[in-house]
Amino acid sequence: MSVYFSRGRNQITSKPLDIFVYNKLIRSETLAEAHQKQLKFYRDACRRMPFILQSSTMTHHVHPVRARLNLAVHLRKHMHVRNVGMIDEVTTDMYEWLYDTVWNYNHIQNFENIVVGKYSDACGYSYLDEKRYSKCSPFLKNFFKGVDRPSP
């Protein structure tokens, strides 16, 4: 049945057609309800993440799985907040960010720090021997470089 409604499209190449369920006029009454709204946002954002990365040509910067984890790290920055109104404001801002990003109203620079994050796949591997073997003993340095190998 879901194939019938999606008409053969997938989540990477086509915009999601489902409507955002968040209503910013309805405020949360309890802390649990506010966190539930934030969890719904995270689920919606994770579902749309492959399309966001593909449409904004960020797949060479970060993998969709790493982008989801970086988004979770960004949301955890606000976990110490106990004010329900503040959590609702953060969730509203994130929903607006998600809507603008899905419909390409957002530039890459506006959400790159959230999605790519501090650690990403773009972090290179150092080929400098001083950097690679700085914490190794001289024996291990020679072993890894292949120095003083016994001849067969």
The residues, any chain, with a CB within 8 Å of residue 33's CB and separated by 6 or more, are 84
83: its two tokens: 């004010």
Q: What is the mean pLDDT of each run of 10 residues along the chain (152 residues)?
A: 51 57 79 91 90 86 89 86 90 88 82 74 58 80 75 62
pLDDT of residue 1: 45
pLDDT of residue 145: 75
pLDDT score at 125? 55
Cα 99 to Cα 76: distance, rounded to the nearest angstrom: 21
For position 7, what pLDDT does the model report? 54
Distance CA 100, CA 69 (A): 20
| pLDDT reported for residue 120 | 47
pLDDT number for residue 151:
65
Rounded distance between C-alpha atoms, residue 122 and residue 51, angstroms: 19
pTM of the model: 0.65
The CA distances from residue 139 to 15, 143, 152, in Å, are 56, 6, 20
